């Protein structure tokens, strides 16, 4: 594989993620470049238009490129 970074990503950093779980209003993703880190992607950040079924856009196990918008320091 490739080298895993420690710590947390910076805001506005572009990273590769693997979709872990798809819910009706959000997606949980594993941050591939960081060791044991996960992120949340809200439905409003997936597509600019209305989304009827989130599973039309993302599927579990798929690799996606994401931009880090916010780091939640409370959950660390």
**Does the pLDDT of residue 6 top 90, yes or no?**
no
- Of how many residues is the chain composed? 76
Q: What is the CATH number of domain 14-75?
A: 2.40.50.140
- Residue 13: band (very low, low, confident or very high) from pLDDT cuts 50, 70, 90: very high
Is the four-CA dihedral 45, 46, 47, 52 of positive or negative sign? negative
Q: Rounded to an integer, what distance in angstroms lies between the CA atom of residue 6 and that of residue 32?
A: 11
Q: For residue 21, what are the β-bridge partners?
A: 28
pLDDT tens-digit series, residues 15-62? 999 999 999 999 999 999 998 899 999 999 999 999 999 999 999 999
For the entire predicted model, the pTM comes to 0.83
C-beta separation of 41 from 31 below 8 A: no
């Amino acid at each position: 594989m490739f080298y895993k970074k420690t710590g947390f990503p910076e805001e506005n950093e572009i990273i590769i993620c693997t979709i872990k779980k798809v819910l009706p209003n959000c997606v949980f993703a594993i941050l591939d470049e960081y060791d044991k880190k996960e992120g949340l992607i809200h439905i409003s950040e997936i597509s600019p238009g209305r989304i009827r079924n989130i599973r039309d856009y993302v599927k579990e196990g798929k690799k996606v490129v994401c931009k880090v918008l916010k780091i939640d320091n409370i959950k660390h």
